[in-house]
Chain A
């Protein structure tokens, strides 16, 4: 499914190109990975352990809904990392194990 971006098309600027699941997409310099994905389409950016669709949410490093595989590294917070020419992005399915989730009441 290709859902149109939920954001207005931006005025053209010098482009940085990355691939998302093998498809070449254009981003703008200074975009975070999460911003570039939101600008590109309204599609889910990730599927949860139960298969629910998610996209980046808080854009400030709090929620971890933006987790994405970047250049082979899983679980990168897409809202906290800038795009770089040639970056290879892959959408994740399920939650890969993370450490440091320790939080008790």
Chain B
């Protein structure tokens, strides 16, 4: 078979960019595909364009620029706006751009698709004016759009970072409503000594919290019972309980966050074995310490293989690249192992803080298995109540729930509801298996499929 490259890397975030540079410098031909118009991934989105022009985004954001610059290498062909919709044995990648699909082949594929925000379903979360906090951060990075008098609600390090960025940008949030409780912090405390390995990150987090305090942003902790309704002027009336008291805040825009989860549609559709992790409450592909999966020729690295953050993703990307170089005969086993030492150390350091974060900022039960009135599947407008009813009527797995309710059958293909359907099932006592994802993993027009088929026939 004709190969288009030695390795195809899907995703130009921290893992994919680091892997591409490592592979290219060692002499491998790299084809790098990303759905966005530029390299960076969500964390370093547009850093190549912004540089340090939007200073409120902070130093850690600008730190992504060298990764983007390193892609300027003769061995790297980067294709942006490229939506991968199928991965086949071979391995082969089928991707689409501007309504035209093409197929690329290589002996190795590295999936570096990263993470998505964990859906935060509650009654009213589909209203205009409710958005994930990470989505507004994307708007800050790509369009310089700053939310007006926002309320930030939820938990996790990203929430503090975004609050700090908004303060520095001169658009402080009206309030910060945090879901973590003193009990969850105490549960996480035994993990702190280990987290000290990542002291720099801890100190940074404390710095954000100090900044939020100094800016006088109203803070509520131990919040639960989220509910949003529309006000007369089109704003959001956000109600919740905090420390047993009912509160209501009116805001043009409510920004929620409960952490991020691996984006696994691509790895699941590629046939890789996945499992559920109770610690991170998400599905993740099974990988070895080099990112190898059970499917020959396919590695997975970065947040898509389990949430570790940008630094861990870069290290994991380079480790996967070293392994691929070894499998391609460009690096001996000894050389691979030797070269991996700094990245192994970086990975260990970066992951040291995860057990603390995963416990302290765990998602609330009410978002994993939301109240009946909450929409679970945004596309098909299926409520948590509809799903519970289907379970009462005998559905006992994701597939049956989907058949009965249409949850997960819309254009997002379950990206926004798989975790919720699973959460409801497991709160009803079921042990749901990993849902299968089927190609095309993004909607493709019929004409485009037909054109690709003709092209394959004529070239066969």
Contact = CB atoms under 8 A, between A and B. Distances in A.
B38 to A, nearest CB: 10
A67 B411 contact: yes
Given A42-B128, A104-B399, A8 B171 contact: yes
Interface residues of A, number: 51
A59 B143 CA distance: 11
A44 B399 CA distance: 32
B327 interface: no
B440 interface: yes
B234 A1 contact: yes
Interface string B425-460: 000000011011111101111100000000000000
B13 to A, nearest CB: 11
A80 B83 CA distance: 10
Contacts of B402: 103-105
B413 A63 contact: no
B148 A8 contact: yes
B42 A60 contact: yes
Given A104-B402, A104-B438, A28 B128 contact: no
B139 A35 contact: yes
A58 B136 CA distance: 8
B253 interface: yes
B222 interface: no
A60 to B, nearest CB: 6
B146 A8 contact: yes
Nearest to A44: B128
A43 B433 CA distance: 40
A101 to B, nearest CB: 6
Contacts of B387: none
Given A7-B146, A38-B145, A53-B127, A58 B438 contact: no
A15 interface: no
A71 to B, nearest CB: 12
Contacts, number: 163
B412 interface: yes
**B interface SS class:** loop
B85 interface: yes
B142 interface: yes
Nearest to B414: A103
A62 B416 contact: yes
Interface in A29-64: 30-32, 35-36, 38-39, 42-45, 48-50, 52-64
Nearest to A50: B381
Contacts of B128: 3, 42-45, 53-55
Contact of A58 (B49, B116, B408, B440): B116
Contact of B35 (A43, A53, A80, A95): A80
A67 B411 CA distance: 10
Contacts of A100: 85, 440, 442-444
A6 B116 contact: no
Contacts of B37: 82
B322 interface: no
A98 interface: yes
Contacts of A44: 128
B148 A5 contact: yes
Q: Enumerate the 8 nearest inter-chain pairs by beta-carbon distance, A residue then B residue, closest first.
A: A105-B398, A3-B234, A105-B399, A103-B413, A55-B128, A100-B443, A59-B135, A64-B411
17 contacts: A4-B252, A5-B148, A6-B252, A28-B144, A32-B143, A35-B143, A38-B139, A38-B145, A45-B128, A52-B381, A58-B134, A58-B135, A59-B135, A59-B138, A99-B443, A104-B436, A105-B400
Interface of B: 35-37, 42, 49, 83, 85, 116-117, 126-129, 131-132, 134-136, 138-139, 142-148, 150, 171, 233-235, 252-253, 263, 378-379, 381, 397-402, 408-416, 432-433, 435-440, 442-446
Interface of A: 1, 3-8, 10-11, 28, 30-32, 35-36, 38-39, 42-45, 48-50, 52-65, 67, 75, 80, 82, 95, 98-105
Given A57-B378, A58-B116, 17 more contacts: A3-B234, A6-B147, A8-B145, A39-B145, A54-B126, A55-B129, A56-B135, A58-B135, A60-B36, A80-B35, A82-B37, A100-B440, A100-B444, A101-B409, A103-B409, A103-B413, A105-B436
